[in-house]
Structures are given as structure tokens and as C-alpha cells.
Amino acid sequence: MARTITRDEEQISTKTGRLDFSPAPDSSDIHPGTVTVTIHTGPDSPSTGLHWHEAHTEHLRIVQGCALVTVGDHTATFTKDDGVITIPRLVLHEVRRADNVEQGRAWKDTDLVMREWTEPADGDKAVFFRNIMSLIKDEKKTLLGMISTGLSIVVVARAHDNYPVIWKGPAVLGKGFQQTVRRYLTFSVMAVVGFVGCLVGCRSEYEEYTPRRT
């Protein structure tokens, strides 16, 4: 299918949000590979879903609005006054607007803006975001189009250290066993779906979406 060329764009937008790849305007956020994420107001605002990273520690800072952030077993609201949120590798986390909790209702008419960067600062986060956002932007609103986009998203996510929680796993035998079951279930499902995606031409990075490496 024809793809929009977004590889050199400093900003990519959809109806629910926006990504900015240009340098942050204030010196406190000069970190290599920082991406500014905006989640618009409204009932269709997306969530990251519960997920983890195998190889990256992630850092978030809220610039505007209020976020409901889960890190491990702890969920709380965060605003710009709360500083940097650090999410170690392998730790489950989720980020969404906080409109539905009491502490976040005051910001329900305000776009949520946050900055994200990782350690190591290898640019993988920006490549992931560029490809995912561009796939969503280019999605054809047909059954085949939605299936194709879904397969592509799995292939991109698997290649760029983003692992969704499919099932948390049984808690009865302890957290270690639960984590093992959770990880290998996700790995197995993503491997199968990713294999199907690759068979039909899905890629881990699309030339139209990914900046040329120098």
C-alpha cells in the first residue's frame, strides 16, 4: 500500500495525539532521543496499555496536564510538579490520561503532554514511535486494512523492545513464576503473530517512516 513519507517530519499527528521529535525548548530536557508525546482530550484518548521493555530503562516527565501512571504494583497521578518518573527495564507500566480519577478531573479539558527518553539513548524509542504513529495515520478503515496495521504494529513493537501484557500470569506461585509465564506467553504470541506479519510483508521499520541513518 502507498505510505505517507514521514521520515523527515519533526511532528506526526493523528486525531488522538501528536509526536514531536524536535529538541525540547528548555534545557532541562536535553536528552538524546527525547520524544514529546501529546495525548488530546476526549473519550477516544489512547492508553499505552500495560507493557514492559527488556533492554531499556524509560524516563517520563509530565509537561502539561495530568497522567495516570502505573509502575509495577503502584498507580498514581503525576503532573509537571512531580519531576521525572523512572521505569526500570522489565517493570510493567502503563500511561494514560487521568480524567477518570478524582485527582485528574481538573485537567480533563487539557491536552496531556509528556517527554520520554531512554537509557541506553540509542534512538530506538523515536524509531518505534515514528513507525507506530505513521502506521496508525496510514491505516485503511477496512477489515483488511485494520488487520494489516495490527500485524505491522506487532512486528514493529517486537523489534523495538515493546512487549504488551497479554495475561499477567498466575499469582498463586509467586511473582517470579508469574513473570516467567507472562513473558513467555507474550514472547510466544508475538513470535507467531510476527511470523505471519512478516510472511505478508510487514517490516520492523518502514523506509517511508524511518530517518535515514548516516
**What does the pLDDT look like over 96-148, one tens digit per residue?**
999 999 999 999 999 999 999 999 999 999 999 999 999 999 999 899 999 99
Q: What is the DSSP letter of 110?
A: S
DSSP-assigned beta bridge partners for residue 117: 59
- Each of the 214 residues of the chain gets a pLDDT tens digit; together they read 679 999 999 999 999 999 999 876 665 666 888 999 999 998 889 999 999 999 999 999 999 999 999 999 999 999 999 999 999 999 999 999 999 999 999 999 999 999 999 999 999 999 999 999 999 999 998 999 999 999 999 999 999 999 999 998 888 889 899 999 999 999 999 999 999 999 999 999 999 999 987 6
Q: Which CATH class is domain 11-126?
A: mainly beta
- In this predicted structure, what is the pLDDT of residue 32? 84
Rounded to whole angstroms, the Cα distance separating 33 from 116 reads 8
Q: Is the Cβ–Cβ distance between 90 and 58 less than 8 Å?
A: no
Domain coordinates in residue numbering, the chain: 11-126
At 204 the pLDDT is 96
Long-range contacts, 137-143 (Cβ 8 Å, 24+): 137/4, 137/6, 137/12, 137/13, 137/14, 138/1, 138/2, 138/3, 138/4, 140/1
pTM confidence score: 0.92
